[in-house]
Amino acid sequence: MNTEILKLLETDSKLSVKDIADMLGLDEAAVAADIKAMEDKKVICGYHTMIDWDKVAEEKVTALIEIKVTPQRGQGFDKIAERIYNFEEVSAVYLMAGAFDFTVILQGKTLKEVSMFVSNKLAVMETVVSTSTNFVLKKYKDHGIIFDVEKKDERLAIIP
């Protein structure tokens, strides 16, 4: 498995096989075969585009929900996670170590829509002990991408 290919694709999934081969000094056919093999093995799980939704007319609310659960005998955390990640609104589910068991990230159109999801779908699950919902107010960096940073001109002025 070529981790250099993975690092390049993680940074820019739009890179072509030719670009990757050129950057790494490898044969195009070998790079294409490596990528195909990693896709087949689900090492590469998909390709993602980062969008700054604050610059688009469509409003979105992102919430991080901390959930405490009581796992059922013989099913553990995996079954609970599966029930949660199958909801359309959920974009990520993480098993955590610490004060709570899961972090769930979801998006909705409004605060009310997110609140209704939590109260009608998550909190009522028989394994859920408690939830704590945190709303994202502003994104500064996501998936390694820095959002909306003003570039300062640090050049020195030349006075004739």
φ and ψ at 63, to 5 degrees? Answer: -130, 145
Res. 1: pLDDT tops 60: no
pLDDT at site 144 = 78
Of 62, 48, 66, the closest CA to residue 139 belongs to: 62
What is the mean predicted confidence (pLDDT) over 13-25? 90
Res. 97: pLDDT tops 70: yes
CB atoms within 10 A of CB 118: 22
Question: pLDDT tens across 46-81, in order?
Answer: 887 777 777 777 788 999 999 999 988 888 899 999
Average pLDDT, the chain: 88
pLDDT at site 49 = 78
pTM for the whole structure:
0.73
pLDDT at site 51 = 74
